[in-house]
């Protein structure tokens, strides 16, 4: 089974999360750009994810709200800067901590044989912001959705008609 890798080198402002999925690139890209699919894997297990806005084009905005079992809301938003089947570049901001914006670059590398490597590089404004994000428990919150995405991709592949 594929493992999700998270790299956060000391003294650097970035976090890199990557995983190889047993799914073609177009399906992985769709799962990252379709609001109905994003709601199924984005965020921690046990939370409800609502995609309130998703305009996947350069200059388009996105906003996602997560709710825990107690009804607490956690909202995130950003702006898309680049969108191609190989790469999405956008900003990401947790609304409870305004002003701490990170730049996210997701790449979708076609490995052939129906496999895709997805790499999510997040560059924060400072090493302190990066360390704070890791210490807040978000490390688990970055890996767990990749596991959920892998499961969703398997379900989508099984539901797809044979070609």
| DSSP code, position 72 | -
Q: Do 17 and 6 meet the contact criterion of CB atoms below 8 Å apart?
A: yes
Please give the pLDDT value at position 142.
Answer: 84
What CATH number is given to the structural domain containing 147? 3.30.530.20
Number of domains in the chain: 1
| Closest by Cα among 112, 146, 119 to 23 | 112
Sequence-ordered list of residues with C-beta below 8 angstroms from that of 91, at least 6 positions apart, any chain: 78, 79, 81, 101, 102, 103, 104
User: Is the pTM value of this prediction over 0.85?
Assistant: yes
Please give the pLDDT value at position 161.
Answer: 67
Tell me the average confidence (pLDDT) per consecutive run of 10 residues in the chain, 163 residues long: 86 96 97 97 92 98 96 97 98 94 97 97 95 80 90 91 59
107 within some domain: yes
Residue 44 lies in domain: 5-156
Please give the pLDDT value at position 1.
Answer: 47
Q: Rounded CA gap, 147 and 138, in Å?
A: 15
Q: Rounded CA gap, 29 and 88, in Å?
A: 9
162 within some domain: no
């Amino acid at each position: 089974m594929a493992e999700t890798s998270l790299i956060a080198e000391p003294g650097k402002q970035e976090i890199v999360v990557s995983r190889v999925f047993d799914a073609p690139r177009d399906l992985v890209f769709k799962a990252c750009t379709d609001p109905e699919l994003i709601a199924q894997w984005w965020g921690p297990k046990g939370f409800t994810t609502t995609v309130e806005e998703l305009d996947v084009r350069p200059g388009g905005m996105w906003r996602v709200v997560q709710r825990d079992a107690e009804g607490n809301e956690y909202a995130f938003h950003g702006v898309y800067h680049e969108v191609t089947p190989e790469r999405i570049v956008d900003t990401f901001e947790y609304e409870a901590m305004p002003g701490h914006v990170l730049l996210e670059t997701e790449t979708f590398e076609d490995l052939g044989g129906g496999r895709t490597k997805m790499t999510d590089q997040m560059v924060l404004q400072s090493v302190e912001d990066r360390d704070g994000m890791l210490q807040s428990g978000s490390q688990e919150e970055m890996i767990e959705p990749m596991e959920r995405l892998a499961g969703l991709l398997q379900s989508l592949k099984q539901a797809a008609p044979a070609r």
